[in-house]
Structure 1
């Protein structure tokens, strides 16, 4: 199933969505896809004109591909400008993913502070594709185009403080790029700690906070996004990373923070 088909599935019937094995990340469904599907279910409960400002995501358990997943949404509060929404994905009666979202209409304000520019990478045309290798890489990467432009590859024993490059969805119809697409693109990148390892070992996101700069730039699913993640601290099997995503023109799109676990 394509990404757009899974989004359609959760819009049509959020009470039962089955994610196929091809969207797996080890033994679990791809976390970025889980966040995107839960976000779609949440957005349907929010009044028009209130774009998402931030999402706090907890990956509670590993949802299994091939079994139905239920996406439930509770509107905690609809204020004059902000809606606070809680999303819960469950499988076999157990919580898999929790998302707390803040959706807010724009307000008049005298404050306007420009973001720092995007980091300087080689142009995307000069960076080679990161090839998908079945059996050696998470299955979901068959649907994501990556071009590595900063830092070492996973498990390369490279003590780099940051990783980054370019990403977009593969084999998709051209359509406006939404926050659901961005959730998949940001989480497609492996934890920035993995290049420090000298052999393969599991690693995954534990918690994830992402903030969107609204309004989103007018991009499509065929545009490349630019990503950089920096390790701020890592020890005892946990890493703390700060990341950001930019449009092709250098405009900031999203700010991301993750606590990741590393079993190595």
Structure 2
């Protein structure tokens, strides 16, 4: 079941909605993080029809989410130009995700800076080779994926893939981007000497555009690990559209159990 299908079958509750996490969106014993975050954003968007564009999201992955989940949101503050909304996704096991979204309209500014170039060695999407079918977590089947960076002779803490959501009909562009944005494994994954469980802990996403757009739904995602010690890893993240324009940057903390 796709995200559009899930959203068309939700049940309204006080402060939000309830729905079932489809088996195809699971990652181990919990929901894929991008799916849970997209549900939280959908609940936040539903609080008002006149919200300005989303500009930042702070997400905490607290516990497993599976089966029926309840998604609630509330307005923390509505200013003249910016609004802060918190959201929470919970299941029978308790709270699994919390998020704070910042929606902000455009204001006049004398500063113009947009220095987030794509990797110098990026492989154009129409030349990129697809990832092998059937590999990766269960949710991967909802995406088309292609290698965005050439292979190297030795492992590096960097992963870059082209990602395209297969069923995105009717989705808000920001919800679609949130769903796609967490689709990469951690940048340090292929440097680990042995397979081991991993778990995202926190995730910060800053949007660089009020309306993310790309050709044919393809986004270039990059995760670059910069720290891994004592079971914790930190990584920088970025997303570009098919024309090489940056649309989001972020940071994520990850627990490594091995």
The answer to whether the Cα contact below 8 Å between 1:46 and 1:103 also exists between their aligned partners in 2 is no
Normalised by the size of structure 2, how large is the TM-score? 0.90
Question: Gaps (5+ residues) in structure 1?
Answer: none
Correspondence for 1:191 among 182, 186, 191:
186
Normalised by the size of structure 1, how large is the TM-score? 0.89
Cα distance change on mapping 1:194 and 1:82 into 2, 3 Å: same
Instruction: Map 1:19-38 onto structure 2 (within 5 A).
Output: 19-38=21-40
* Displacement after TM superposition at 1:173 (Å): 5.4
Q: How much is the aligned-residue C-alpha RMSD, in angstroms?
A: 2.2
Q: Which moved more, 1:88-97 or 1:239-248?
A: 88-97
Deviations 1:86-126 (A, max 9, x none): 10111126111000111111111112112332123122222
Name the structure 1 match of 2:206. Answer: 211
The answer to whether the Cα contact below 8 Å between 1:152 and 1:163 also exists between their aligned partners in 2 is no
Name the structure 2 match of 1:163. Answer: 159
Q: Secondary structure at the match of 2:116?
A: coil
* Displacement after TM superposition at 1:11 (Å): 8.2
Cα distance change on mapping 1:26 and 1:209 into 2, 3 Å: same
* Displacement after TM superposition at 1:175 (Å): 5.6
| Number of residues of Structure 1 aligned to a counterpart in Structure 2 | 255
Q: Secondary structure at the match of 2:126?
A: helix
Cα distance change on mapping 1:16 and 1:177 into 2, 3 Å: closer
Cα distance change on mapping 1:145 and 1:177 into 2, 3 Å: farther
Q: Secondary structure at the match of 1:122?
A: coil
Q: In the alignment, does 2:255 pair up with 1:261?
A: yes
The answer to whether the Cα contact below 8 Å between 1:38 and 1:71 also exists between their aligned partners in 2 is yes
